[in-house]
Amino acid sequence: MALAVMCSGGDAPGMNPAIKKFVDYAQKKDQVPYLIYDGLEGLIDNKIKKATHHEVAGIVHIGGTIIRSSRSKRFFEYEYRLQAFNNLNLHDIQGVVVLGGDGSFRAMQRFSSEFDINFVGIPSTIDNDIYGTEYCLGVDTALNVIRDALDKIRDTAASFNRAFLIEVMGRDCGYLAVVSAMISGAEICIIPEVEFKRDEVEKKLTQEIKDGRNYILAIISEGAKKTSEIHEWIQDKLGLETRVSILGHIQRGGNPSVYDRMMAFDFTIQAVDYLLSHNDSNKVVVFNKGEFSFMEIEDVVSNKYELPEHLLNAINYLD
């Protein structure tokens, strides 16, 4: 059987280890591995190449994805989906492993509803916002990048009697912000899922500043869209000189952590084994309570991920 792997949407640390494991494991199972370059755009344009050990040697430690990724408007037009399907048939590819997030899985759901294809999705997004799985590939590395930045920012905040506002990624999900606030000792955390109790926080911090507090660390999720507003509030109401740091895309890069490399290994083996044992895959590998399982693509894309209750409650316990 010929199998292919592709990346779609935003890149995530751990994609390269997954790509290498895909090629190595497919060959071990006597299958023919293919690489689809440039995501959905490459699928349309037939950027599909048979893989050997040479293409994936020495990539486990590299961030991003060597086969690149894309977002594709063309893929939402039927003629281009048909073209993509014909390209798979041209190479006799009977199964596809898709490394991506919510948008990627929605695209594959539509694709598989129209054409006879088998695919298994591996949740790969630093946002950790895929329904049905506790963990997505790339999250641990992103959190370590954020942790490193926050530790350094706190050093300079304390040295200059300043407040620092750090905006982290996550789209409409506050996972990165909450966990980052917990592990950095931040005083403020603002996410889309929870109303910010400004009056309560202002009263508490005003008293602490009177008692000698000389700096504040605030973490804001980009999805909350409150960075400018909170910046003005801290300066005007709390009276601390305030700096804003938007971490941006450094959170998506960097060498994959040990955990992400291990998860890439396990996610990929699960995906390949499922493709080899089922003719009607169209599933997503999910990880919950230490175990892997599979969910129907329809269930994944038709439901919204919600932060666990213990993380929502954690905001109330920030110092």
- For 73, phi then psi, to 5°, come to -75, -35
Q: Hey, which bits of the chain come out as E strands?
A: 2-7, 32-36, 48-50, 93-100, 119-123, 162-168, 188-190, 216-221, 241-246, 283-288, 291-296
Q: What are the Cα distances from residue 61, in Å, to 64, 221, 305?
A: 10, 28, 29
Contact between 38 and 70 (Cβ < 8 Å) = yes
Which H or E element spans position 30? none
Catalytic residue among 11, 38, 102, 127: 127
* DSSP annotation of 316: G
* DSSP annotation of 248: G
Which DSSP string corresponds to 160-177?
Answer: HTEEEEEEE--TT--HHH
Instruction: Determine whether 51 is exposed, middle or buried from the number of CB atoms within 10 Å of its CB (0-12, 13-18, 19+).
Output: buried
C-alpha span between 284 and 272 (Å, rounded): 12
- With the C-alpha atoms ordered 309, 198, 193, 318, is the resulting torsion angle positive or negative? negative
Known active-site residue 211: no
Nearest CA among 151, 144, 102, 94 for reference residue 123: 102
* DSSP annotation of 236: I
Residue type, 154: R
Residues known to be catalytic: 127
